[in-house]
């Protein structure tokens, strides 16, 4: 009887996953995957709080940024392109992601499961310069791509030109396998960073962020850009990425 119940739950989980994926894609997502957070739960809790432990899985959804919006960023003097990019990703792409994530959370709750939306690109802890939860962690564990030297998720088709949102849940959904890969000899993002925020070290899950990324230097540059051009945006690492 117990084995039969587990089999039924697994079948229901696969069906629910399929309906959630279809809903996300119909709403404009290009990426949909399920991440098993349990191997990284201590990291998740340390960043966002003990209450996140109740969510062993995460839906990872992504929307790519059009190449035409990214390529002009390579010209650092093109302030108009930077401001346009800032508007596009925060006012257009992120809003779409958040709407999709909220709809998915409502769908999960309608089926009796807990769900918690982590909005796209919201830094809730200004002291540590991080959000409640790492979208990149979820995207990596959901198989969308590997974490590159820029700390971006590098996808096979779009490189680092993807924005992410996450829905945490306790629903019994089949999870994807984490993506594998690395930047190798490529240091394009490292060399493109105007404040040398990246160290060029490949991602290893056991390393703290500081091994790869000096967040304070990036934050300082973004603050400078906000004062000088009116937008907290750089995008050099995204434009330089050779992935995809």
What does the pLDDT read at residue 131?
Answer: 85
Residues 6+ apart with CB under 8 A from 111: 16, 171
pLDDT in tens, 82-140: 999 999 999 999 999 999 999 999 999 999 999 999 999 765 555 556 789 999 999 99
Long-range Cβ pairs for the range 185-192 (8 Å, 24+): 186/149, 186/242, 187/149, 188/240, 188/241, 188/242, 189/148, 189/149, 189/150, 189/152, 189/160, 189/236, 189/237, 189/240, 189/241, 190/149, 190/150, 191/240, 192/74, 192/236, 192/237, 192/239, 192/240
What does the pLDDT read at residue 121?
Answer: 75
216, pLDDT greater than 70: yes
Whole-structure pTM over 0.95, yes or no? no
What does the pLDDT read at residue 123?
Answer: 56
Length of the chain: 244
Burial label, 127 (beta-carbon count in 10 A; 0-12, 13-18, 19+): exposed
Three-state DSSP at 159 gives: strand
pLDDT in tens, 191-208: 999 999 999 999 998 898
Could you give the CA distance from residue 149 to residue 188 in angstroms, rounded to a whole number?
9
What does the pLDDT read at residue 243?
Answer: 87
Q: Which residues pair with 173 in a beta bridge?
A: none
Phi-psi region of 18 (alpha: psi -120 to 50; beta: other; left: phi over 0): alpha
Measure the CA angle with vertex 103, ends 100 and 104; round to 5°.
Answer: 85
Mean pLDDT of 76-84: 95
Residues 6+ apart with CB under 8 A from 58: 34, 35, 37, 133, 138, 141, 142, 166, 167, 168, 169
212, pLDDT greater than 50: yes
Q: Which residue has the tokens 């590159």?
A: 148
φ/ψ of residue 183, rounded to 5 = -75, -25
What does the pLDDT read at residue 10?
Answer: 55
Report CA 229 to chain centroid distance, whole Å.
Answer: 26
Runs of H (alpha helix) within the chain: 2-26, 41-48, 67-70, 79-87, 94-110, 135-141, 188-192, 215-229, 236-240
39: which DSSP letter?
Answer: G
Supply 153's token pair.
Answer: 């998720």
pLDDT in tens, 4-56: 233 344 568 999 999 999 999 999 999 999 999 999 999 999 999 999 999 99
89: which DSSP letter?
Answer: I
Summary mean pLDDT of the chain: 91
pLDDT in tens, 160-174: 999 999 999 999 999
What does the pLDDT read at residue 86?
Answer: 94
């Amino acid at each position: 009887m117990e084995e039969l119940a587990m089999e039924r739950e697994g079948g229901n989980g696969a069906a629910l996953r399929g309906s959630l994926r279809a809903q996300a894609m119909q709403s404009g997502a290009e990426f949909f995957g399920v991440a098993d957070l349990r191997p990284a739960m201590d990291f998740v809790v340390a960043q966002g709080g003990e209450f996140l432990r109740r969510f062993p899985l995460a839906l990872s959804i992504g929307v790519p940024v059009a190449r035409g919006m990214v390529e002009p960023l390579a010209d650092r003097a093109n302030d108009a392109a930077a401001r346009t990019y800032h508007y596009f990703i925060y006012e257009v792409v992120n809003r779409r992601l958040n709407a999709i994530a909220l709809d998915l959370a409502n769908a999960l709750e309608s089926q009796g499961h807990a769900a918690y939306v982590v909005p796209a690109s919201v830094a809730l802890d200004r002291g540590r310069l991080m959000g409640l939860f790492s979208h990149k962690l979820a995207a990596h564990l959901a198989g969308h791509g590997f974490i590159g030297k820029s700390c971006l998720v590098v996808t096979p088709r779009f490189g680092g030109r993807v924005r992410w949102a996450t829905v945490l849940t306790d629903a019994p959904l089949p999870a994807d396998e984490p993506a594998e890969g690395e930047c190798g000899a490529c240091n394009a993002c490292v060399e493109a960073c105007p404040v040398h925020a990246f160290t060029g070290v490949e991602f290893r899950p056991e390393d703290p962020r500081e091994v790869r990324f000096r967040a304070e230097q990036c934050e300082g540059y973004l603050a400078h850009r906000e004062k000088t051009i009116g937008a907290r945006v750089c995008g050099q690492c995204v434009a330089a990425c050779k992935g995809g």
